[in-house]
Amino acid sequence: MYLDYYHLKEMPFDITPNPRFLFYSAKHREAYNHLMFGIRERRGFVQLTGEVGAGKTTLCRALLERLNDQYATALILNPALSTDKLIKAIAMEFGLEVRGLDELEILQALNLFLLRLAEDGRDAVLIIDEAQDLTEEGLEQVRLLSNLELDNRKLIQIVLMGQPELRDKLNNPALRQLRQRITVRYHLKALTREEVQHYIRHRLKVSGANGCPRFTTPALWRIQSYSQGVPRLVNAICDKALLAGFVNRRERIDYRIIGVAIRELEGEIGS
């Protein structure tokens, strides 16, 4: 609605995880480097945690775009499945035709697939988003997948991405074998006040902004204060603010307009 008014090519604060809009703060760059290191060095397991809306899924999308044809990838977005359905979902994400097969047959097909990849000099990467939703049985099944290996290399690299509850779950003594195999870990923290300012300007620039709209310093302060540096909340506030600015014909987004945006957002959250 406000794109034409602000001469923007696309929505700058859409909450969908578009890797083109990924802002590489120091911590996001470090998280990305941890992921790439764990995969390239074939460390077996990589763990990335962060609060809701911290940018984990966007990082995941950027990672998938960066991995070239040397890698076969599978992405599980909803891991709250029984173990047999989880294994089936993983195999299907790798492109295997496993309909009608039982769990043992699927595991055999998956093992053969991974061996063929290794023979071709390729690697397999499994990314499980929202991994805190995995059951203990599901996490144990994932650990067993990591047993698929040759004498000198792992056949599959597994990235577990989730909310802080994932760390709590992995501290369960029953999962100590899995926890001990995770050699690369990173916790993605919220953006600082300065990073929030750069984040907003970055997203405006990617969407085609040329000096308009402009967020005042008090407005940026209020955004940081309310969002506490969580990118998803920053997006939600800024989107509401641009809509309010459009309605009131304001190219300058000030402290008052951010207040309007927050009240509208609070109304949505409370409804």
> Any alpha helices (H) in 94-216, and if so which ranges?
103-119, 136-145, 165-170, 176-181, 193-206
- What 3-state class would DSSP assign to 211? coil
pLDDT band at 271 (very low <50, low <70, confident <90, very high): very low
Distance between CA atoms of residues 188 and 170, nearest Å? 17
Helices then strands (H, E): number in the chain?
12, 7
pLDDT tens digits along 197-238: 999 999 999 999 998 999 999 999 999 999 999 999 999 999
Q: What type of residue is 176?
A: R
- Among 84, 11, 27, smallest CA distance to 236 is for 11
Q: What is the pLDDT of residues 176-185, one digit of tens each?
A: 999 999 999 9
Structural contact between residues 32 and 63, judged by C-beta atoms closer than 8 angstroms? yes
Condensed to tens digits (0 to 9), the pLDDT of residues 120-151 reads 999 999 999 999 999 999 999 999 898 887 77
Q: What is the mean pLDDT of the chain?
A: 93
Q: Burial, 25: exposed, middle or buried (Cβ in 10 Å; 0-12, 13-18, 19+)?
A: buried
pLDDT at residue number 92: 96
With a CB cutoff of 8 Å and minimum separation 6, the contacts of 58 are 17, 18, 19, 21, 22, 231
In this prediction, residues 160-168 reach a mean pLDDT of 95
Supply the pLDDT for residue 170: 92
- The per-residue pLDDT for 68 is 86
**Which domains, from first to last, does the chain contain?**
3-15+191-270 (1.10.8.60), 26-188 (3.40.50.300)
pTM over 0.85: yes
213: cis peptide before it, omega within 30°?
yes
pLDDT tens digits, one per residue of 69-81: 899 999 999 999 9
Whether 226 and 192 have beta carbons less than 8 Å apart is answered as no
Count of alpha carbons within 13 angstroms of residue 206, beta-carbon side: 16
The answer to whether 194 and 25 have CB atoms below 8 angstroms apart is no
pLDDT at 159 over 80: yes
Q: Confidence band (pLDDT; 50, 70, 90) for 269?
A: low
Q: What pLDDT is stored for residue 244 in this prediction?
A: 94
Does the pLDDT value for residue 239 go beyond 60? yes
Instruction: Provide the percentage of residues in the chain whose pLDDT is more than 90.
Output: 85
Position 225 scores a pLDDT of 96
